[in-house]
């Protein structure tokens, strides 16, 4: 038997004003209720695993970007990544036999959301790709994870979420860790250090806006239509500011294909995960990308900027754990 405390409105004995009545509601613990709770837990578990997989894909994508920037402009890399990024989306829709879902109409405001998301992603890519070519791999991979704090903050104006003292404190702590890593008062500071943070803001905007789409739309369809505008924006920027360099070899072509695949899988993973659960709850699990970045930077580029990353990275991770703890506490309180 499940017991829930309830508060309901009623009239006083004279019928003149509303009063609150506290009481107890007893709900029979049926198999249906158990199945419903189990299903909710499974959704959260799948969302967490999905977002960790997306972080792994993004980290590998960063390795490919770092290699390609030696011979190609970031504008060309961004456009090519977006073009090839259609392939994993179409594959997912075809595999799930949902290709007809691409014909579903969008409301005008949903098309506007796609434009904003696509533009945000294109700008984020340029900031991130330039940073990969100018900074240590692990430094970029750590600073980009200021995104969860932006997600938590943006959830308030965009989703109407309630963020209390503890989570706002965690956001400030996390940004304090970002400042420690950037070290603006030292000689090693570079304006390029700001670029991963700007990329995180743009990616966080795109991730948070996903929750504003109708639940009837498939994640693949949302990402496909947003990808159209990301590709168009990156093409426009390439034509205005970049230069075209022919792909020199089959190996480079394979790297471009891998870039699009990893980026497409990563973004699609974020879309799916954030639609399955609350952004403020999932965002801290993006920190799994930090050890991925440390490992890949050491393995592929022999970089280990430990002194620069610590103790800032500890503040970032600790802030994320505070957000997780607070969200879990709020969820527990809401069930009593």
Place 289 in a pLDDT band, splitting at 50, 70 and 90. Answer: confident
**Nearest Cα to Cα of residue 87 among 258, 270, 273:** 258
Q: Which residues pair with 307 in a beta bridge?
A: none
pTM of the model: 0.77
Res 153: pLDDT: 86
pLDDT at residue 304 in the model: 81
Do 298 and 136 touch, CB atoms closer than 8 A?
Answer: no
Q: Is residue 146 packed enough to be buried (19+ CB in 10 Å), middle (13-18) or exposed (0-12)? A: buried
Once rounded to an integer, what is the mean pLDDT over residues 158-163?
A: 82
Q: What is the Cα–Cα distance from 56 to 266, expressed in whole angstroms?
A: 8
Which stretches within the chain are classed as H helix?
31-68, 74-84, 86-95, 108-134, 137-143, 147-159, 165-182, 194-209, 219-241, 250-276, 279-282, 289-301, 306-309, 312-334
Q: Are 123 and 204 in contact (CB under 8 A)?
A: no
Residues 192-248 have pLDDT tens digits of 889 999 999 998 999 899 889 988 888 889 989 999 999 999 999 999 998 889 998
Quick count: other Cβ atoms within 10 Å of Cβ 50?
A: 21
Paired strand residues for 10:
19
Higher model confidence: residue 274 or residue 110?
A: 110
What number is the average pLDDT over the span 95-116? 92
- What pLDDT does residue 318 have? 85
Rounded alpha-carbon distances, angstroms, from residue 118 to 56, 200, 211, 256, 287: 22, 14, 15, 20, 24
Tell me the mean pLDDT in the region 176-193: 76
* Paired strand residues for 11: 18
Q: What's the alpha-carbon Rg for the chain, to the nearest Å?
A: 23
Whole-number Cα distances in Å, 292 to 21, 162, 254, 271, 286: 53, 31, 22, 21, 11
Q: How far is 285 from 218, CA to CA, in rounded Å?
A: 23
From residue 110, how far is each of 107, 175, 212, 269, 294 by CA, in Å? 5, 31, 8, 20, 38
Instruction: Tell me the torsion sign for CA atoms 270, 275, 277, 280.
Output: positive
Q: How confident is the model at residue 180 (pLDDT cuts 50, 70, 90)?
A: confident
Name which of 281, 290, 296 is nearest 141 in CA terms.
290
pLDDT at 292 over 70: yes
Residue extents of the structural domains in the chain: 46-334
């Amino acid at each position: 038997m499940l017991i829930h405390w309830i508060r309901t409105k009623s009239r006083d004995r004279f019928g003149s004003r509303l009063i609150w009545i506290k009481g107890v509601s007893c709900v029979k613990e049926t198999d249906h209720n158990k199945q419903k709770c189990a299903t909710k837990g499974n959704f959260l578990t799948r969302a967490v695993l999905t977002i960790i997989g997306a972080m792994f894909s993004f980290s590998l994508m960063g390795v490919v970007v770092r290699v390609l920037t030696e011979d190609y402009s970031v504008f060309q890399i961004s456009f090519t990544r977006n073009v090839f990024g259609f392939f994993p989306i179409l594959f997912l829709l075809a595999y799930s036999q949902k290709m007809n879902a691409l014909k579903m109409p969008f409301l005008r405001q949903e098309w506007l959301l796609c434009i904003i998301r696509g533009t945000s992603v294109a700008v984020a890519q340029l900031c991130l790709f330039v940073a990969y070519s100018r900074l240590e791999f692990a430094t970029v991979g750590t600073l980009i994870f200021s995104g969860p704090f932006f997600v938590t903050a943006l959830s308030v104006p965009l989703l109407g979420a309630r963020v209390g003292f503890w989570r706002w404190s965690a956001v400030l702590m996390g940004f304090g860790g970002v400042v420690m890593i950037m070290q603006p008062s030292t000689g090693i500071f570079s304006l390029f250090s700001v670029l991963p943070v700007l990329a995180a803001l743009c990616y966080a905007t795109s991730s948070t806006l996903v929750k504003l789409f109708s639940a009837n739309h498939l994640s693949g369809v949302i990402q496909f239509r947003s990808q159209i505008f990301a590709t168009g924006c990156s093409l426009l920027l390439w034509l205005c500011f970049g230069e075209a360099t022919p792909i020199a070899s089959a190996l480079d072509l394979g790297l471009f294909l891998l870039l699009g695949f990893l980026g497409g899988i990563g973004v699609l993973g974020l879309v799916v995960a954030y639609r399955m659960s609350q952004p403020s709850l999932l965002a801290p699990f993006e920190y799994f990308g930090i050890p991925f970045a440390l490992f890949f930077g050491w393995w592929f580029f022999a970089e280990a900027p430990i002194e620069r990353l610590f103790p800032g990275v500890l503040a970032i991770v600790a802030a994320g754990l505070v957000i997780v703890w607070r969200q879990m506490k709020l969820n527990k309180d809401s069930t009593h």
